[in-house]
Chain A
Amino acid sequence: MTPLISVKGLKTYFRTDEGLVKACDNISFDVNPGEILGVVGESGSGKTVASMSILRLIAEPPGYFDGGEIIFEGKNLLKLSMKEMREIRGNKISMIFQDPMTALNPFLKIETQLTEVLVQHKSMSLDKARAKCIEMLKKVGVSLPERRLDMYPHQLSGGLRQRMMIAMALLCRPSLLIADEPTTALDVTIQAQILELIKSINQEFNTSVILISHDLGVVAGMTNRLVVMYAGKIVESGLTEDIFNKPSHPYTKALLNSIPRIDKEQKQLDPIPGLPPSLSSIPTGCPFHPRCAYAVEKCKTTYPETAFITSDHISKCWEVSRL
């Protein structure tokens, strides 16, 4: 199967006062048509930067692409002009943001913000766009869509606003939807509803989804494949099932051990010792070695080669055999 989008060796760096920050360092992954890819990792591991790089939403400067390519529909997104990029944003690839409270413009009616997409990409008249928006709002489970369109963001609840954002992202029927921690700012019951919605959209419209999260529980139930990131690098990737059954990187293993499980008797959780490294001073060798229980001398000096557990389950660890 040809992947819908394929990220190859992406390097997104930032020049800052503290030095060069390698937010995404040599990242490669594919998203196949119709699948949900999960990206997990701690805060500051480069998940968001990776997704923003796809849409070229990185502020340049201070950010820049040091190398790599992102192939989408035969074109390298990193080489496109801003005008060509605007054609893709919201039209073929769209994004849902973390906090629906701040991602809608407080001064504009919902209608203005939703129709903007259609007017921009499909050159639709406002009347037609409005009808289309109402249709889409019904699909994402917004009650009384006609009335909600005339409201301002502050009159809507968090869950409703996130539904609005999802509707906005889907209006042009994009082939790829990037959901950057879409449920972090919502309470648990609403979280479940929104995740359900994303899943049903994935099935109904055959939209591929990149689901970014730091919540392994969310990722487990939703995704087909998984990418685990640490300190700007991908440390493990493979089928979600495989990773949960046989975590093949000490970091993934530690992550899984640090969350409570309902099917096991546990007296105490095992947190990962230490702190994630600052991206401007990443440890030499394997960036995880200072916190790793399996670290050996070699880990301190040399970055691990790719170890294949199965043909599509890879891990970046020298000590895979000991796990």
Chain B
Amino acid sequence: MTSQSTSKPIVEGTSLWLDAWKRLKKNRAAYLSGIVFVFLTCLCFIGPFVMKAMGFAYDAQDIAYGAHSPTLNHWFGTDFYGRDIFTRVLVGARVSLKIGLIAAIVSAIVGTIFGSIAGYAGGKIDNLMMRFVDILYALPYMFLVIIFVTITENKGETVLFIALGLVGWLTTARIVRGQVLSLKEREFVQAAHSIGVPAYLIIFRHLIPNTLGPIIVYFTLTIPTMILQEAFLSFLGLGIQPPKPSLGTLINDGANHMIVFWWELVFPSLFMAVMLFSLNFLGDGLRDALDPQMKKES
């Protein structure tokens, strides 16, 4: 057995990611938030199926039962149509999360590719691409979304993706471009040039991995923004349509009945608040963990 321990490598390979993970674990608030977020996400994606099997589908009405405050059967109470609010919150949060995640992922990918190409190309191309971003920035997007929804007469997830995606990638593109502008002057990029690596590989293999830190941080902070925006749009009646719930529509309904049926407002709002808090803490923690300047503190 002793021979085994001696043959072990002296130096374990630690990557930058492993370092960052260690630092993240030290940050209690971020680590706990991460756990809470993963737990809530699992709950949202598995919970509704369990509840359905137990007979509490999100759209199962029981008008005779009606709105009822929380009981052992209905943990968050029921709404006017006798639907279980716990299930509806889970389904709503799932819809919100899905929209938030997909919109954030799409905007991160589009923004990264757009920004890195602009930054790498530089000069006139960069100028042209970034002025295009500025123009999109300047347009009042809520106005765009309302026009868009009215023209397509199509309300629902797809429109929301497009509307949120339309504005989401702009900031990412700016962040990535700024990073690439400074990174491309670094010696390792020149070294890559000097061994004959083509431009697309320099962008995708050498530049983008080096910008991942800020991208990930911005990404985690985008998800809550996207969820909020989705909730806002749904609150205005431009997003998810009933009977399908989203956190926004649930809160909207709750707000209408809040004087009589307080639980209809409080529980969806609380759920959303906890989710957003955990995401924000996680994003902050990631920013600290991925910032190489923070290294000396650990």
Q: Give A contacts to B, CB under 8 Å.
A: 55, 57, 61, 85-91, 94-95, 97-99, 102-109, 112, 116-117, 120-121, 147, 150-152, 154-155, 165, 168-169
Contact = CB atoms under 8 A, between A and B. Distances in A.
A103 B187 contact: yes
Given A106-B210, A155-B11, A165 B191 contact: yes
A97 B13 CA distance: 25
A99 B187 contact: yes
B25 interface: no
Contacts of A97: 187, 190-191, 194
B16 A106 contact: yes
Contacts of A117: 195-196
Contacts of B201: 116
A116 B197 CA distance: 8
Given A102-B188, A105-B188, A105-B210, A152 B193 contact: no
Contacts of A61: 123
A102 B187 CA distance: 6
B123 A91 contact: no
B186 interface: yes
Given A86-B198, A106-B188, 18 more contacts: A55-B194, A61-B123, A89-B194, A90-B195, A95-B191, A102-B186, A104-B188, A105-B188, A105-B192, A105-B206, A106-B16, A107-B209, A120-B195, A120-B196, A151-B11, A152-B16, A155-B11, A155-B13
Contacts of B188: 102-106
Interface of B: 9, 11, 13-16, 123, 186-188, 190-198, 201, 205-206, 209-210, 212
20 contacts: A55-B193, A55-B194, A86-B198, A87-B196, A88-B196, A89-B196, A94-B194, A94-B195, A103-B188, A104-B191, A105-B188, A106-B188, A107-B212, A116-B201, A120-B196, A147-B9, A147-B11, A150-B13, A151-B13, A155-B13
Nearest to A151: B13
Given A103-B191, A147-B9, A150-B13, A108 B206 contact: yes
**7 A-B pairs with least C-beta separation:** A90-B195, A89-B196, A107-B209, A86-B196, A102-B187, A90-B196, A95-B194
A109 B13 CA distance: 10
A120 B197 contact: yes
Contact of A89 (B9, B14, B193): B193
A23 to B, nearest CB: 16
A151 B209 CA distance: 16
A87 B203 CA distance: 19
Nearest to B191: A103
The binding surface of chain B is classed by DSSP as helix
A104 B188 CA distance: 5
A80 B209 CA distance: 31
A262 B192 CA distance: 41
A104 to B, nearest CB: 6
Q: Which of B9, B16, B194, B195 has the most CB of A within 10 A?
A: B195
A107 B186 CA distance: 13
Nearest to B199: A82
B149 to A, nearest CB: 42
B194 A152 contact: no
A109 B205 CA distance: 11
A214 B197 CA distance: 29
A92 B114 CA distance: 34
B196 A91 contact: yes
A152 B13 contact: yes
Most central of B187, B194, B198, B206 by chain A CB within 10 Å: B194
Nearest to B185: A59
B112 to A, nearest CB: 15
Nearest to B183: A105
A168 B191 CA distance: 10
Given A103-B188, A152-B13, A57 B193 contact: yes
Contacts of B13: 150-152, 155
A155 B14 contact: yes
Contacts of B196: 85-91, 117, 120-121
A85 B194 CA distance: 10
A151 B13 CA distance: 6
Nearest to B11: A155
Contacts of A155: 11, 13-14
Contacts of A88: 196
A260 B208 CA distance: 48
Contacts of A120: 195-198
Contacts of A150: 13
A55 B187 CA distance: 15
A117 B194 CA distance: 10
B276 to A, nearest CB: 31
A293 B188 CA distance: 42
A94 to B, nearest CB: 6
A244 to B, nearest CB: 31
Contacts of A147: 9, 11
A73 to B, nearest CB: 16
